Structure 1
């Protein structure tokens, strides 16, 4: 997943855009160079996971599967 990383500045809360790990690291270093020139870059990195099966989509699929099993067992 190419757009899975975002970095947050430890000084002001600035966030980079979602991107690759190297893009985020470069963006936060650039931010520190412009906004906090005498501070060692810090802050935190966020990692975004891919789409998960949480929510109504999985419940609907599970419901259809159960219904099909019930219909199949009756014949």
Structure 2
């Protein structure tokens, strides 16, 4: 059974002002791997997922999920309600 793994890598990377190359260097992978991850074309190993979460200092479940993450606009609406 193959499940889709959703991620917020691009959002965290942009917020940190990092390029794909900088993030790739930080976790020891090819910059193309970061692109594949961001697009959902590749599932990270547990080791890579933990390394990525560590770069952003967040729990791994804040970066990856089996369920789609709510959009930013949806999150903002919920916090204002």
Tell me, yes or no, whether TM beats 0.5: no
Structure with more contact order per residue of length (Cα contacts < 8 Å, sep ≥ 6): 2
Q: TM-score range by the shorter chain?
A: under 0.3
Q: Which has the higher strand share?
A: 1
TM-score (norm 1): 0.24
> Larger radius of gyration, structure 1 or 2?
1
Q: Which has the higher helix share?
A: 2
TM-score (norm 2): 0.23
